[in-house]
Every structure is written in C-alpha cells, then in structure tokens.
Amino acid sequence: MDAKPVDDPPHSTEKYDEGALKPEQQIKINELKIKKRIENERYLQQHPELNILLRDFMRQASLQKPT
C-alpha cells in the first residue's frame, strides 16, 4: 500500500505536506481511516433510521434558500 496521497488535495485547501509524517505513520493513519470508514458503514447499516434522517435533512437543506 502506497502511503502517499495519489490525488490532489480537495479544492480550496492547502497542498499536502508529504514530509509531515514518517512513512510508517502515514501507513498507520491510512489504515485507521479505512477501519473507521468500515465501522461507520456498519453502524449506518445497523441503524437504517439514520439514513432516513440524513436523507430528509439533505432534502430540506437543498430546498431552503439562504436568507
């Protein structure tokens, strides 16, 4: 697994500081991110009511115009 980011940073953010972490640290952080995403997906699958709440929230947010 490559420890360095392969994509450009998100729009309007600073460039990645590739020297901030040692390669081992970057690998560990990447593994932690994957683990957390899997945990979050499992949680959302176990609580389908959250999907309904999130969908309704996003729908309302997209329908309301800023004041």
Q: pLDDT at position 11, please?
A: 76
Cα Rg of the chain (Å, integer): 18
pLDDT along the chain (67 residues), means of 10: 69 80 91 96 95 94 83
For the chain, give every domain's residue range: 23-61
Which whole-number Å values give the CA distances from 21 to 4, 53, 55, in the listed order? 10, 38, 37
pTM of the model: 0.62
Torsion over CA: 22, 9, 2, 39 (sign): positive
Question: Helices 48-63 and 23-46, interaxial angle, to 10°?
Answer: 100
Contacts of 59 (CB under 8 A, 6+ apart): none
